[in-house]
Structures are given as structure tokens and as C-alpha cells.
Structure 1
Amino acid sequence: MTSTDTLQNAIDQDFGLIADLIRIHAIERPESLALRDSECTLTYDSLNELMDRVASALQREGLGTGDAIAICAASSVNYATVFLGALRAGVAVAPLAPGSTPESLARMQRDAQARLLFADVTTADVIGSPEGSGIPRIALDGSGIGRAFDDWLAPVGSTPDAVALAPPSPFNIIYSSGTTGEPKGIVQGHGMRWSHVKRGARYEYGPATVTLLSTPLYSNTTLVVFFPTIAFGGQVILMPKFDVTGYLRLADANRVTHTMLVPVQYQRLMASPAFDTHDLSSFQYKFSTSAPFGASLKADVLKRWPGGLVEFYGMTEGGGTCILEAHLHPDKLHTVGRPAEGSDIRLIDDAGLEVAHGGDGEVVGSSAGMMVGYHRQPEKTREAEWFAPDGKRFIRTGDVGRFDADGFLTLFDRKKDMIISGGFNIYPSDLEAVLRGHPAVADVTVVGVPSELWGETPVGYVVRREGDATDPAELLAWTNAQVGKTQRLASVQLIDELPRSAIGKVLKRELRERHGRS
């Protein structure tokens, strides 16, 4: 049996483990490149050995199935190795955003019940002093923020104990919360990630794949491409931070075949005078998700950038995916595509009843790729679920859409108020809670407005207390000093009274329209 047959037989199984596929690559293709960053390169043989050492070290520390670790660091080979090694030990990974505030980060660590924190010098300000951390720290880069990674690893040649995992077994915990309120940890199972692997064959992942990733490893956006690349034996090049010049240089020099980018990154790349000076003919597939992707921008990418363009629409919580293969459907660029194979996507009204075909409704979805639930928050989990009359479980998206006659889904608005800025989710309620803490603020709302730079950006509308003369610039600076850098307000606008409906709901659409006229 050839190595290709061995891999295909493993992937053809209804359920399997990504860590097991890496062991197959290490045996069959030990010298093939697996991971690379600006300072380090790993072959599959070396990656497999390091995963064993990570898994053995975790088991030495008493961690096993049902336990979790946290990672808060810039994307790197060591980051990816720890993630993969934890999976081999059956330990769930909570990848945390370095842009969080220290208070938010601490809450997420506690919520995940993380037993260890892996970090690097780039997140030293966020994670705070070791004395107050409460859990042991390991420094991925050997800096002084914790025990050196190389010292923490189990000895060369260590072999971890085998673990038994099922599709619902926790794979990772992705956090969707902002700076305030109770964080929501989205528990994704091994079965959900396996469904992403099985989908990968359609997009020509294989040993010749070279995937360039400039979005962070803590983001589900990145992981839906990272894991299929590794599962099929390709090479992943990690950029710790996106920049147009560096991205184009790496893509050209390494004959990159696959990538994941959020729409604002596509916008910046296509607007660069250097774009057309690079040879990007090696690209087979480019992916996008996480934020609205304008039809005109998709058209520009199709015209000037070789290879297929695929947009995924879904939630980190899972529940179903729509896929737009834009290169095959250039007349449907205004849509997010059709439901993926195995995804049951429906529309419901405010009463929870399915709408007739051609009507508008909230998008709900069901598939093998669904979260187990919100970590330790059963009430929040129930709020996110919708059950069909036959008992089938769906996840609510909060988005309003309509299917056309060909089965393509067009989105109109979000029922939820979430703002997507540069591919990151921002919850207005989090920012509103911060602003309300200022003594000058009598009333406040935050809306997302269009931004050429970020896609969307948050703007605060504030009603000051009577007689108060606080300057909007002061309110802006005060708020942005307390939130994560991905959540900062673009501006604060003063308003005499917030527009409200007859039942007292703030009419955010009016504020967006007002901003567009200003």
C-alpha cells in the first residue's frame, strides 16, 4: 500500500484524529516540510517527535482528557506544535487573543479552567506578572515570562500514553467575548474539526500544498485552513502579523498554493501598487470568512489573482456552512453561496417557525460541525439553539437572509449587533458598558459604520449628563485605554438624544445613516 493509500484510507473514516494523520506523514514522508515561521522550520518527522514530547510533558504534569491549556502568543512554529501536541494528549486548547485586556484574559483562563499558560514576550503586558497568574507559565520563545519551553518539554524519545477520544471530545475552546461581561467559550469537538478535514479534499490539499497564513492561530478563521493543510501533509507558513509587502514577498518566493484572508486584507492587497508586480500564478485556492466580502472586491480578486476564490459563511459555533465558489459562480458574488454538503441551513421567523421559500428570516444551521456548547454556560447554549419540529438541533446565527431560486443565500442584516472589524468580532454592548462607567455619560450606544481600512469600525454615540462639558476626545481616549486594541472606538459623537422606537429600542440604523451623511 502506498503512502497516498494509507492517508486516504485514514481520511475516508467517518471519524479520526488529526494527530494520527501527522504520525502517518512522519512515517511515510519524514523529510517533507510541515511548519515554518521567520525563525524556524519543522519537517513532519521533527513535528511528530515534538508533539510526542509536548503530549508526554502534559501527561507528566497530570493533564489528560477533560483538561485544558491556554495559549496567548503570536503565531509561531512552537505555538502550532503545542496546539497539536496537546491534541495528541487529549487535552483541549484555549487559544486566547493577545489583544485582550489583562482582566478579560484572566477571566477566560479561569473559565477554561486552563492548567497551563503558554505565552511569549509579545504578550507580556497582557498576561501580567508571573506572581499573580495563578497557573504555571511556559515561555514559547525562551523569554523570562515563564519556564523556558525547551526546558519544559519531555526528553527526546518520550512517547505519550494513548488516549481514547470521540467526536464530542473537546478539541479547542474559542472565546467570543470582548472586554466586559461573562466570556463565552465555544467548545468545538474533534468531530467538528474532522469534518473540516474531510471537506479539504475538494480544495486540492495534499503534500504539495503550501499554505500562507497571516491571520492569528487563536482565530477560528485561521484554523479552518491550518488543520486541513497539516492533515493532508502540506506545508504551513506562519506570519506573526500581516503586512502587504511581507505577504506578497512570501507568496511569490514560496510558490504558495493556498491562503486564508479576511476581506479587509484582500482590500489592502488589491489596492497595493506592488500587487501586480508579484508572480502569484502558483495559487490554487484563496479562502475568506469572518466578515462581509463585497461583490466588487470579489470581482477584482477573480480578475487579477490566479486560482479559485472560496468564501465560507458560518459561525465559530458551527451549525452549518454556506460556501460560495466565486470562480464558478461569478454571477452570485452578492451572495455567500449555497449550503455545504452535510449542512442543513434554514430560515426562521421571530416566532421560531420556518419561513416560506423566498422569504426573509434568521439563518439557522445544523451539521456535523457544531459546537458541543458554550463552556460551562448551559443557558447561553440553549439560547443559541433552535430545534426543528422533529427534534433536530440547529445553531442560530443572528443573521437575516433570503435564499434565491438557485439556493444561494443573500444576507441583509444582523439581528445581533456584533461589529466585524478587520476580521475580529466586537460586541457593542461591551463597549457601551465601558462608556457607561464614565461619570459624564448619561446614555450611550455603539454602532458599526463602514471603514475603508477595517471593513467596519465602532463609533460611540453619547448623551452627556446635563451641564457636563466633557470633550468627546477625552471620552474616546478614556474608553480606548480600557479595551483591547482590536476593540477601540474610531470616534465618539455627541448627541442630544438617542433615537428610539416606541418600545424604547435604540434605532441603530438611523445612527448609521446619520454617520453616512456626515
Structure 2
Amino acid sequence: MSTNVVLKNMDEILAFEQTPLQDRNLPRTTYEALQKGAAIDPGAPALSFFLSAAAMRTPYTLTHGQLLARITQTANALRRMGLGRDNVAAYILPNMPETHFAIWGGSAAGGILAINPLMEADQMADLLKGAGVKILITLEQTPGVDIWEKASAAAKDVPSLEHILLVNFTAYMKGEGVWRDAMPLPPVSATIEGRDDISLTRLLDEIAGENASGLDFEGPGPNDTSTMLCTGGTTGLPKIVRRTHFGEVYNSWCPSLYVGAENVGPGTAALCGLPLFHTNAMLVTGLLPWMHGGHVVLASPSGYRGDGVIAGFWDMVEHYGISSYSGVPTIYGALLQVPHKDKDLSSLRFGACGAAPMPVELFNTFVNETGVKIIEAYGMTEGVLASSMNPIITDNPRIGSIGMRFPYQDMKIAILDDNDEFLRWADVDEAGVIFITGPNVFDGYLIESQNRGIWLEQDGKRWFNTGDLARCDAEGYFWMTGRKKELIIRGGHNIDPKIVEEAMHKHPAVAMAAVIGRPDAKVGEVPVMYYQKSTGVDVDLADLAAFAQEHVSERAAVPKDFISLDALPVTAVGKIHKVTLNMLEIERTIRELAGWHAAEIGSLEVVQDSSRGIVAKLSLNSGEDAMRHALGQFTFTVDM
């Protein structure tokens, strides 16, 4: 399975593809991948976990053999409880070892649905009902955490639900220097209102007596559903993406071809700080190192949001010999504020960055101050993990590029007409919509009606329309130019503007609303709302803000500003032209920065470039150095 190669250019990728994928001897399923990784050295550390940064030097650790045993026991228990190949279990959990037991044990026995514990109860209920969930794994009632309150409220409205398996932090609470693995717990007292038909037991109790040496049933096949993840924004009901076992194996193998298997294998440690309902945390800091024999450090139940995790990050790197980690740009910005000069960072091979573009200034500053290589990539849940990536070794780093496509997966730029119909494939450096096809691409959303318009039949292949805009240069590197699907990315979290707009249209003074992302140096983008007032109705900003607070369910999606226009810009067919609004926001940002830095603008024009997307053309009469530094904190393109 291990391939000691680093693909550095398109010629090497094409040469690599001369060997058929089926001859690469990859595991067929995620369970087989875990078995092969554990066989490298069953006694080597596989997973270390601690409840808080203060406890990071005394972790709870499982070896590869022990981790595989727990996953196997979980799979056997779930099958015994009725989870068949066509059934679905779900988990609503923070980052814990049990979360991985649920993911990989659940996918071995049936399908496993990941649900964001920050969702509201009604959203959780809709997802549980939509997937027909039979078994739910969630956190027991815990002081200061509201997961049980929301999960239990959601569970009572799910007719398919038969069992709830509870998880708690007791095993990880230290007493007198020892782990409290065997600490007796009181009987489960939790109940679900009006649902006597749902059994409630503890996960660790259910798996304790199960066979740990192998599956007691016929294991999954490569095309069977493994995990089911949600996508499409943190507001409203996300789409449920079904991923196959081989798709996850393939896509967890591909990054090793760009960073080197030796950087993710035995003797290396990956730090997981992103949430385990997200594909990056699950695979880049999970299956990827485990299938190569590596070690994963699970940094607190809340990951990077955990108390002291960012402040103690460099200590963790030094203590565990961390080799790699994943983060969004805001994490990199926060880490720069933490002193690191006296820490030994020699173990770090690379940091991965995705979910949102990395500002050039932040990229350069981080690399120069820490010496850590940043590997930028592009992907989406529908493509399992990633579709393109930059190589770790290059004499000419393409800062801002999302890299070259993965081998055996094709990725092209298409030119579409005004009705989103395919016209042709784009020329070199011509901007268009990214389409992908290959072994990692999902089979479709769980709800069939959501699959309309997402596929393109072309060149004898079925291509997925990502909705993202990019161009591809002559050397095969892709460069993002925008997002056709209009998602706002705030600190790595997706916000669907349509859900916010629907809520705000209920206000009597709002005739038409358009929510877009305002450039923000700290979190990438924040939502703002442009609106057209209803005739004869007046409103002040405080009223709109209060209405948004009440009617927009996701806090991060509440607009930070409300801008009234006499008429919103529209296309020839009457659709709101959000690109125009994006251009207005970029101009506003530049003028505001100039005021802050006492820079005098000579000329400023924001235009739509055919190959680069939105470009701000700026000349300055004074303050150029300060403005270059300030603008480097943002991801929009500026010609100075």
C-alpha cells in the first residue's frame, strides 16, 4: 500500500497513472485499511486523547492493536443491535476516542451519519428522520455541555430510532495518577419523553463483551456506504452525502503521494484539532495516518476551541513530536500570536490548510516565522476529502494555488451558459466551474430531489458540478476565482446565504435581500445583507439586527451589517447579481483600510476579470508599504 513517492508535477502524475489503480493494492474498505495499518506495529501508539490542554502530558493512549480491537467490538455490538448493511447509525459527539469507535465501527456494520453537535435540536431531528437512523451514539448529560439536551429532544421525534448509546468523560478523568477505566458508574437514568420503545445503554458497556479479534459478520464491500456527512452550510438543513468505503480509502491514500508516506507513517504524529463531524478531521487526522501506521493526538473534546489548546499548541508539538496538523486560515493566524521561539518544532513536516483561501501575507508570515511548510488543497465532502493538492517539495511554491489534481481522479474547468448548461471545457487560464470525476466522487445525496442538476455526462464520464470557480494554468495548477454556489466561509464554517435571506424576507420592510460575504482579516468573511425596502415601509438598522437575532437560527450567520439600496443589481433575467455586491464590498474594504493607514488612493477600480475573477486595480499616492501589508491579510486579488 505504501508508495515511497512524492508527485511534483503533471508529468509525474501522468506517468504514475500508467499503472492502473486496481494494481496499486489498496485496501478495499476502511476497516481493511485500519487492519493493514495496525499490522505494521500493533504495539505502536495510535490514538492519544486528553480532556484539556492542562492534561496533555498525561494522555489516554491506545495502541494500534487496541484501537482496532475497540473498533471491531463496536462494529460487532452495532450489528448485534440490529444495524445491517442498509441501516444507518448516527453520532452526535465531541472529539473523543469513542467518536472514532463510532465512525469506523459504524461504517463496518452499516452506514454512519455524522451530526454537528452545535446544531439545534430541530435540525438534528430532521437529519435523523431523513436518514432513518436506527441507533444514535451521543454524549450523556454533562454539566456545561448541552449535547444531551438537544439530542434527546431530537430523538423523541424520530420514529425509526430504536437504541441510544451513551458516552461520557468519566474514563478520562484522572484520580491519584491513574486512569479511571474501571470506575463503576451509576445505572443509566436518562429517558426520552414519550418514547419507552427506545433503549438507553452505555456504549462501553455494550462493546465490553464483544469479539475483538475480527468481525462476526461479513464485512462491507468497496462500494458500500461508509460514512454519511452533511454539507451545504451550517444554517438550514444540510444535504446528506453518502461516501463509499473505497472512496474514503482512495482519498486518504492520495495525500501521501504529495507529502510522502514517510511523513504520515510509523514514528509520525498528526494533531487533530478540527471537529470529527468534518471530513478533514476524520480522514486527514484519522484514517490517513492510521492506514500508514501513524499516531493521532486528539487535542481535547473541543479541538482547537478547547480551553488552552491554541495557547498550548507549540507545547503539544514539542511534547508529542507532532509531524502534521490541519487548520483553516484563522487557526494559522491565531497560532502566530502564541510564542514559539523557545520550542523545538523540528518534528513538524507540514501543516495542511483548506476550507477557505489562505491570505498571501498570512502564508508568508507563518512560513517565515515558524519554518513550517503549508500545504494548500481543495476539496469538498462530495469528493470525500480533497481533489487537488500542492506537493510538499517544490522549487517554486504556488502560494494561493489549490494545487494539482489527484491521480486517477479528473478535474476540469467547464464554461457554462446563463442557464448553467455545459458549453465546453475551458482553455488554459480561462475561469469557469470546477467539475470532478473519479473514485472519490460520491454517488449522490441521500434525498433524491437534491441531486437535480449536479451531474454532467461528458466524455463518457459522469462529472460532479462543484459550483466553485477556478482556472487551470499550463502546468496543471488550479487557482480559485470565486464560488458560484455563493457560500460564505467564516473561519472555515460554511454559511448558506439563502437561509438567511429567507428569514429576513419575513420582515415587512424588506422587499428583497441579498446576503454576501464581507472580507474580514480574522475570519476570512462575515455575512452582510444588502436589501431593497418595501414601498412605504421604513425601518432602522437596530430593528433589522434584532429581527435577525431572533429569526436566523445559526449565530454565525446573523448579518453583521445591513445596507439599503434603492434597487439591488440584477442580471438580464432578473436574478440578483451578487458579484456586483461582492465588488462593492471589496471597494469598501480597501477604502476603509486606506483611511486606517493614512494612505491616499490615486485610483481604485474593482472589475470582473475573465481569468482571475474579481480584481481590485489600485494606485496609491502615499502609504503603499502599509497598504500592501494590510491587503495581504485578505484573499481578494489586488493589482497595485
TM-score (ref. length: structure 2): 0.73
Q: Which has the larger displacement, 75-84 or 15-24? A: 15-24
- One-letter amino acid matched to 2:383: G
Residue-by-residue CA offset, 1:296-331 (whole Å, 9 max, x unaligned): 322233323345422111222119712123652544
Is this contact kept in 2: 1:449–1:456, CA < 8 A? yes
- One-letter amino acid matched to 2:469: V
CA, structure 1 residues 167+381, in 2 after alignment: closer, same or farther (shift >3 Å)? farther
Aligned twin of 1:299: 364
Is this contact kept in 2: 1:69–1:92, CA < 8 A? yes
How big is the shift at 1:426? Answer: 1.2
Q: 1:139 aligns with which of 135, 142, 166?
A: 166
CA distance in 1, matches of 2:445, 2:391: 31
Question: Which secondary structure state, in structure 1, belongs to the residue aligned with residue 530 of structure 2?
Answer: strand
Q: 2:441 aligns with which of 370, 378, 387?
A: 370
Aligned twin of 2:618: none
CA distance in 2, matches of 1:99, 1:438: 26
- One-letter amino acid matched to 2:121: P
CA distance in 2, matches of 1:55, 1:252: 35
1:227-242 matches, within 5 Å, as 227-239=287-299, 240-242=302-304
Question: Which secondary structure state, in structure 2, belongs to the residue aligned with residue 501 of structure 1?
Answer: coil
1:258 partnered with 2:277: no
1:463 partnered with 2:532: yes
Question: Which secondary structure state, in structure 1, belongs to the residue aligned with residue 466 of structure 2?
Answer: strand
How many aligned residue pairs are there? 508
CA distance in 2, matches of 1:160, 1:14: 20
Q: 1:349 aligns with which of 415, 422, 425?
A: 415
- One-letter amino acid matched to 1:301: F
Question: Which secondary structure state, in structure 2, belongs to the residue aligned with residue 129 of structure 1?
Answer: helix
Is this contact kept in 1: 2:37–2:290, CA < 8 A? no
Q: Which has the larger displacement, 77-86 or 14-23? A: 14-23
1:224 partnered with 2:283: yes
Aligned twin of 1:509: 579
1:429 partnered with 2:498: yes
1:129 partnered with 2:153: yes
Residue-by-residue CA offset, 1:196-223 (whole Å, 9 max, x unaligned): 2332543322121211011111111222
How big is the shift at 1:500? Answer: 2.4
Is this contact kept in 1: 2:103–2:112, CA < 8 A? yes
Aligned twin of 1:499: 569
Give the unaligned 5+ runs of structure 1: none
1:358 partnered with 2:429: yes
Question: Which secondary structure state, in structure 2, belongs to the residue aligned with residue 173 of structure 1?
Answer: strand
Q: 1:114 aligns with which of 127, 133, 136?
A: 133
1:166-177 matches, within 5 Å, as 166-177=221-232
1:274 partnered with 2:339: yes
1:473 partnered with 2:542: yes
Q: Which has the larger displacement, 258-267 or 292-301? A: 292-301
1:10-21 matches, within 5 Å, as 12-21=24-33
Question: Which secondary structure state, in structure 2, belongs to the residue aligned with residue 448 of structure 1?
Answer: strand
How big is the shift at 1:260? Answer: 0.9
Aligned twin of 1:412: 481
- Identity percentage over the alignment? 23
Higher gyration radius (CA): 2
- One-letter amino acid matched to 1:94: L
CA, structure 1 residues 244+27, in 2 after alignment: closer, same or farther (shift >3 Å)? closer
Residue-by-residue CA offset, 1:111-164 (whole Å, 9 max, x unaligned): 222112222243234324377253332222168665332233351546542324
1:155 partnered with 2:209: yes
Q: Which has the larger displacement, 362-371 or 351-360? A: 351-360
CA, structure 1 residues 26+357, in 2 after alignment: closer, same or farther (shift >3 Å)? closer
1:398 partnered with 2:418: no
CA distance in 2, matches of 1:44, 1:442: 59
Is this contact kept in 2: 1:221–1:290, CA < 8 A? no
Q: 2:405 aligns with which of 313, 334, 339?
A: 339
- One-letter amino acid matched to 2:317: A
Question: Which secondary structure state, in structure 2, belongs to the residue aligned with residue 461 of structure 1?
Answer: strand
Is this contact kept in 1: 2:433–2:467, CA < 8 A? yes
Is this contact kept in 2: 1:472–1:494, CA < 8 A? no
Aligned twin of 1:101: 120
Is this contact kept in 2: 1:403–1:410, CA < 8 A? yes
How big is the shift at 1:375? Answer: 1.0
How big is the shift at 1:361? Answer: 1.8
How big is the shift at 1:179? Answer: 6.1
How big is the shift at 1:55? Answer: 1.1
CA, structure 1 residues 236+496, in 2 after alignment: closer, same or farther (shift >3 Å)? same
Q: How well do the aligned residues superpose, as a CA RMSD in angstroms? A: 2.8
Q: Which has the larger displacement, 152-161 or 438-447? A: 152-161
How big is the shift at 1:11? Answer: 11
How big is the shift at 1:65? Answer: 0.9
TM-score (ref. length: structure 1): 0.89
CA distance in 1, matches of 2:395, 2:498: 37
Give the unaligned 5+ runs of structure 2: 4-21, 52-59, 170-187, 191-199, 593-640
